[in-house]
């Protein structure tokens, strides 16, 4: 006899008379063939163990990236840029000017670009050298960075502006910028996915594409304005060939969305949203896929 709902993930509603489940250290695996004796089984999850300790102070990781070409892993803790080797050892690759806050990192195959707000840096993957970008803070700085069609693109803190570099270069012409202006909200994150640039604000999202225009190559996609913003700046992730994020709109916040084309589709459950509502803040949430 199959018991409906007996094998599933955790799902606890506000009224426990409706649904109250705990699933500890187990996850459900469905029988996708549909011909098995049971619809699913609960499998044990492997335990966690420490792979690498980056610094003696055990500072939190401020940013992390695996390079697209060679699969090298870089992470920032406190003021140090580390390269983490395959055996768990780590090598210091340079020192940043800041010691706290998020560090955005992207790569173009030969170089990394890092931004921590006021400061910008480049890292040469062949020479293993970290260099500060001149006049970065004086021109507005950068809060997040991504890479699309040969360009590094970074958001300017507390503004609607994003700036692009020269193609396949970290050279910056500060006149090469554009603004996400469909809504007067501030721009928090730029994230490239496939051939599109997703610009996340506090109350809206704009989707841009590379038009190839010689003056400025990026333009907003027709219909590319989503009236659902971002509740936590570190949550947008690439997932299932699209984008997901922890969002908010004029009616409230604490809902996880996944883009279905250019439309936001709710993928969180009432139980997850109820749990998110118990936190004093969700602005510090992090997405991982």
Q: How far apart are CA 262 and CA 224, in angstroms?
A: 6
How many other C-beta atoms can be found within 10 angstroms of the C-beta atom of residue 70? 9
Q: How confident is the prediction along the chain (289 residues), in pLDDT tens digits per residue?
A: 455 556 766 777 777 666 777 778 888 888 888 787 777 888 888 778 899 999 888 899 999 999 999 999 999 999 999 999 999 999 999 999 999 999 999 999 999 999 999 999 999 999 999 999 999 999 999 999 999 999 999 999 989 999 999 999 999 999 999 999 998 888 999 999 999 999 999 999 999 999 999 999 999 999 999 999 999 999 999 999 999 999 998 888 999 999 999 999 999 988 889 999 999 999 999 998 8
How many C-beta neighbours within 10 Å does residue 278 have? 8
Query: What is the Cα–Cα distance from 207 to 220, expressed in whole angstroms?
Result: 6
69, burial (CB in 10 Å: exposed 0-12, middle 13-18, buried 19+): exposed
Q: How far apart are CA 77 and CA 93, in angstroms?
A: 12
Phi and psi at 155, nearest 5°, equal -85, 140
Cα 24 to its chain centre, rounded Å, is 27
Q: Which CATH number fits domain 57-179: 2.60.40.1220, 3.30.360.10, 2.120.10.80, 2.60.40.1930?
A: 2.120.10.80
Residue 6's pLDDT is what?
Answer: 65
**Residues 6+ away with beta carbon under 8 Å from 161:** 140, 155, 177, 178, 179, 187
Residues forming CATH 2.120.10.80 domain(s) in the chain: 57-179
Residue with structure tokens 């439309």? Answer: 263
Q: State how far the alpha carbon of 138 is from the alpha carbons of 32, 117, 145, 190, in Å.
A: 56, 12, 18, 21
237-254 per-position pLDDT tens digit: 999 999 999 999 888 899
% of the chain with per-residue pLDDT over 90: 73
For residue 281, count CB atoms less than 10 angstroms from its CB and return exposed for 0-12, middle for 13-18, buried for 19 or more. Answer: exposed
Give Cα separations from 203 to 22, 130, 215, 254 (angstroms): 34, 35, 29, 13
Q: E strand or H helix at 222, and its extent?
A: strand 218-226
């Amino acid at each position: 006899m199959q018991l409906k709902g007996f094998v599933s993930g955790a799902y606890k509603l506000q009224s426990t008379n409706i649904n109250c489940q705990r699933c500890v250290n187990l996850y459900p695996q469905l029988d996708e063939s549909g011909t098995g004796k049971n619809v699913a089984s609960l499998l044990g999850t492997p335990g966690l163990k420490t792979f690498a300790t980056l610094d003696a102070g055990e500072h939190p990781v401020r940013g992390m990236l695996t390079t697209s070409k060679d699969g090298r892993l870089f992470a920032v803790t406190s003021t140090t840029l580390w390269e983490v080797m395959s055996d768990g050892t780590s090598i210091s690759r340079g020192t940043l000017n800041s010691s706290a806050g998020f560090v955005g990192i992207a790569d173009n195959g030969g170089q990394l670009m890092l931004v921590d707000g006021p400061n910008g840096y480049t890292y040469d993957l062949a020479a293993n050298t970290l260099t500060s970008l001149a006049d970065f803070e004086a021109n507005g700085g950068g809060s997040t960075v991504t890479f699309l069609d040969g360009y590094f693109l970074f958001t300017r803190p507390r503004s609607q502006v994003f700036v692009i570099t020269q193609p396949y270069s970290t050279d910056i012409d500060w006149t090469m910028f554009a603004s996400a202006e469909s809504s007067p909200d501030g721009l928090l994150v730029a994230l490239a996915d496939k051939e599109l640039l997703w610009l996340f604000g506090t109350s809206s999202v704009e989707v841009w594409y590379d038009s190839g225009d010689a003056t400025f190559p990026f333009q907003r996609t027709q219909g590319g304005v989503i009236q659902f913003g971002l509740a936590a700046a570190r949550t947008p992730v690439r997932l299932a060939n699209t984008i997901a994020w922890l969002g908010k709109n004029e009616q409230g916040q604490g809902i996880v969305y996944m883009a279905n084309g250019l439309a936001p589709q709710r993928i969180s459950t009432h139980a997850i949203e109820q749990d998110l509502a118990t936190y004093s803040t969700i602005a510090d949430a992090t997405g991982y896929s």
